Structure 1
């Protein structure tokens, strides 16, 4: 093959590659073409996601998802999920994005991308109010309920030196049921969920005892979708600035978003 033929072949391959790349619609294009967005949201973790008396989705994550769909002029489809299935849902294209108390962590950032934080979550170990727990050593010998695959599960599992005893449940709903029914006197989850247990069963009020950490909550997107991430970032910034995301959070969680997030 002559040099001229090699050059011509190289150009042809390059053009074909560019055409193929250009022809492939990215996820943002797919969403806008479908005029629908599929959002993975756990509807069993009040007050972030739950069903109201009419069996309609409600909660802070639900209203955040509804606001996003409305602002973008899209039909909204909720994809029911749990803590363990949120990320696989976007990786396998069962959902377009995740809005479901998804904490930003270095481990998760290796497998999905995140938007700018739209809310915050205080991760704690909560116990019955009557249980005397002030710090980590007080938890030794006590069984701590935790939802499988959550940041709390990961964090407590890695605390080898604290000799913690964990009881894992498939999702937050079964974990809360265990606490309400007396199967567990301690649980590792968000401070909001801990406080909700007493609402379900006033005879067994729980309270946050030990702070694990405070996480930023963000929208999860599969890797390789920079245009969608950019558009979501613009949306988050606009709705933090206009106060709508803060209004949603305060409505369901009873407190303002961190001041630094609203600046």
Structure 2
């Protein structure tokens, strides 16, 4: 399970994004807008979620969908008063599935980017997956300038790699590994002194019995995540924006995030440079 837990969707973004956007653009005018009332009328919300990305969305030992995004999707369906049908998404197919009408909306733990925002409509952030440095507790690492004193591991080809290259001093020794699982294992086995990657690495460090030895040192970069609807689905956008706003205010999103991710949910912005969250620009 832990290999799946460590395989973040971020590691596939760079290779799949361009193809996904091209396919999405081809289908962009084929799907009619969906509204909350239309979902209520049909009685089912079809929601695109991950099914192999613990703890965001995965299949549990009983064969049921579970995880942070799954609980949020169920809560949305409950507020709509409908059943929920989960549609499996990947880094490559999630945008096409949305714009061609296979799903009503996405609850995807998907990083908000300007490139994607040209094709899909983001809701204000509901989650984040901070890019973080992990190391032994006695390692003196408090900021980017300290990285040059250590051997740092990173998932080759992931979004984490260019972040590390930019953040670390020029003399830093960087070791690259094939995926998130081997990156974390490199830290635990002593192949590297520290690693840069997902905040959820801490879950596996804890679950494998190393929580007393290793810790999260500091956040290197933000990684804000948003649900998404099709361009023009203004009523659905407004509904989900209200959902995120209300459940941020009442603390329920914080509770779910801490339950699944193991750390406090960050204070998330409602505006980002180059991103229109209103659907009206």
User: TM-score band, normalised by the shorter chain?
Assistant: 0.5 to 0.7
3-state SS of the aligned residue for 2:90? coil
Which of 122, 138, 141 lines up with 2:148 in the alignment? Answer: 138
Matches within 5 A, 1:12-161: 25-28=32-35, 31-126=39-134, 135-136=143-144, 137-138=147-148, 142-145=152-155, 148=158, 152=160, 155=163
Which of 194, 204, 208 lines up with 2:201 in the alignment? Answer: 194
Deviation at 1:143, TM superposition (A): 4.3
Taking structure 2 as the reference length, what is the TM-score of the superposition?
A: 0.64
Aligned residues: 231
Stretch of structure 1 that moved more, 204-213 or 224-233 = 204-213
8 Å CA contact retained: 2:33, 2:230:
no
Over 3 Å counting, the alpha-carbon distance change for 1:83 and 1:161 in structure 2 is farther
Q: Deviations over 1:127-152 (max 9, x none)?
A: 5668886655438865411575x5x3
Deviation at 1:66, TM superposition (A): 0.8
Inter-partner Cα distance in structure 1 for 2:233 and 2:80: 17
For structure 1, the residue ranges without an aligned partner over 5 or more in a row are 1-23, 170-174
3-state SS of the aligned residue for 2:128? strand
Which of 210, 228, 241 lines up with 1:233 in the alignment? Answer: 241
For structure 2, the residue ranges without an aligned partner over 5 or more in a row are 1-30, 271-281
Deviation at 1:227, TM superposition (A): 2.1
The structure with the largest alpha-carbon Rg is 1
Deviation at 1:93, TM superposition (A): 3.3
Inter-partner Cα distance in structure 1 for 2:156 and 2:220: 13
Q: CA RMSD in A?
A: 3.8
Inter-partner Cα distance in structure 1 for 2:42 and 2:55: 30
Taking structure 1 as the reference length, what is the TM-score of the superposition?
A: 0.67
Give the structure 2 partner of residue 18 of structure 1: none
Give the structure 2 partner of residue 179 of structure 1: 184
Inter-partner Cα distance in structure 1 for 2:161 and 2:103: 24
3-state SS of the aligned residue for 1:99? strand
Matches within 5 A, 1:245-256: 245-256=253-264
3-state SS of the aligned residue for 1:117? coil
8 Å CA contact retained: 2:98, 2:106:
yes
8 Å CA contact retained: 1:83, 1:147:
no
8 Å CA contact retained: 1:40, 1:78:
yes
Bigger share in helix: 1
Deviation at 1:166, TM superposition (A): 4.4
Deviation at 1:197, TM superposition (A): 1.9
Deviation at 1:110, TM superposition (A): 2.2
